[in-house]
Structure 1
Amino acid sequence: MDAKVVWKSGLAFTGSANSGFTVDLDSDVAVGGSDSGLRPMELVAIGIAGCTAMDVISILQKKRQDVTAFEVKVTAQRAPEHPKRITEVEIEYIVTGRNIDPAAVERAVELSETKYCSAIATMRGCVTFSRKITLHEAQA
């Protein structure tokens, strides 16, 4: 995997990777940015959420769970001093569907977090992870 950022102006950059997609990066006005893009640490949190979400939904589909909506929220806590690294991450899995088996969701999350998600595996040992699973029955 290769990735790069190209400077636009101020603290604004355009990031890209092998996939060919791009993302705008910037910083808050208070620290010299122009508030025109995602913050790099936001991308880290999105990467965690996306990685585990793809695993979990794939596993739930293989388990023939009738998922009608799925969302993963990541709340990251950062150290107060520089380099202000991420110290804690809570991942909330919100699954909506018909007759969803809670054990199937728990197992899918466990497999993602312990075996498949490379973003979590990369940060394991450096970050404290916690999880929350919320199930909602879909409206008929």
Structure 2
Amino acid sequence: MPLTLTWVKDLQFTAADDAGHGIVVESRKEGAAAGFTPMQLLLAAAAGCMAMDVVSILKKKRLPLRGFTVAMDGDRAADHPRRFTEMRFTYTAVGAIPQADLDEAIR
């Protein structure tokens, strides 16, 4: 899984994979809001991994999933290193999905 991170300017970088997909990574302190912060990417990556598993499980059960959204937020430590102390994910499934099946897929 080769990736490269290239400095653009100030605290702005581009990350790219070997297939040519790219994303802007920056600090909001110096950046122009052109991309995600590293901590936002960490939340999105965690939610993306979970969402792919949940959608895959619901599809394997042949449930009528028409849409799926994950809202995410997190709290960070006040002092450095400012790691996440808590992450919260709220899942919304669209379709006639029994709550028990959704809960099981999320677990």
Using structure 1 for the length normalisation, give the TM-score.
0.71
**Partners of 1:93 and 1:54 in 2: how far apart?**
12
**Partners of 1:60 and 1:19 in 2: how far apart?**
29
1:12: which partner in 2? 12
Structure 2, unaligned stretches of length 5 or more? none
**Partners of 1:79 and 1:96 in 2: how far apart?**
34
Which residue of the other structure, out of 22, 47, 50, is the alignment partner of 1:52? Answer: 50
2:38: which partner in 1? 40
State the aligned residue count: 107
Output the aligned Cα RMSD: 1.3
1:135: which partner in 2? none
State percent identity of aligned pairs: 36
1:7-50 Cα deviation digits (max 9, x unpaired)? 1111111101244310011121xx32232211011000000111
Which has the higher mean CA deviation after the structures are superposed, 10-19 or 81-90? Answer: 10-19
2:87: which partner in 1? 89
Using structure 2 for the length normalisation, give the TM-score.
0.91
Which of structure 1's runs of 4+ aligned residues deviate more than 6 A? none
Aligned pairs for 1:100-139 (under 5 A) are 100-110=97-107
**Partners of 2:41 and 2:100 in 1: how far apart?**
30
Relative to structure 1, the CA distance from residue 101 to residue 72 in structure 2 (aligned partners, 3 Å threshold; closer, same or farther) is same
